[in-house]
Amino acid sequence: MWARRGVSALVAACLLAGCGASDHDQVQAKVQQFLHATQSKDYTTLCTQVLGPSLLEHLAASGVPCETAMRIGLAGVKHPTLSIGRITVAGQRATAITLTSAAGQQASLAAIELTKTDQGWRVESLGALVTGGARR
């Protein structure tokens, strides 16, 4: 029984960390995790597993706890959806072009920027708008 739990824990840890997966696949999985945590309003996961160090430092400098900031920022977001387009990985940085929408909101094409950390890929920018092939 203990051996089975140990193996299950190892498999779960490997899935979260992306063992054997390419950087592209890990970035895609992190963006999907961002979507699922946003859909379920899982602020703990957003703050501990999804958002990157510089984004968390920015929130800390403002004096607002991460989970509070996420609760406020996502309060009006109902039924969010996200489609992942092109993913570009360059060393420790990655960009995922996404199409996002939510109930009552206009869809937008945005670039989510990620950084590779000791804990895996983390979201550093929640989406600069993309228009005509150039970000603004």
Residue 51 is given by DSSP the state B
Whether 8 is in a domain gets the answer no
Whether 17 is in a domain gets the answer no
User: Quick check: pTM over 0.85?
Assistant: no
Domain around 68: 22-135
- Among 13, 118, 124, residue whose Cα is nearest residue 59: 124
Q: Is the pLDDT of residue 19 over 70?
A: no
Specify the number of domains making up the chain: 1
Q: Residue 27: give its domain's CATH number.
A: 3.10.450.50
Whether 15 is in a domain gets the answer no
Kindly report, residue by residue over 36-60, the tens digit of the pLDDT: 999 999 999 999 999 999 999 998 8
Q: Which two tokens stand for residue 26?
A: 């890990």
Whether 12 is in a domain gets the answer no
Helix (H) or strand (E) holding 71: helix 66-73
Whether 7 is in a domain gets the answer no
Whether 33 is in a domain gets the answer yes
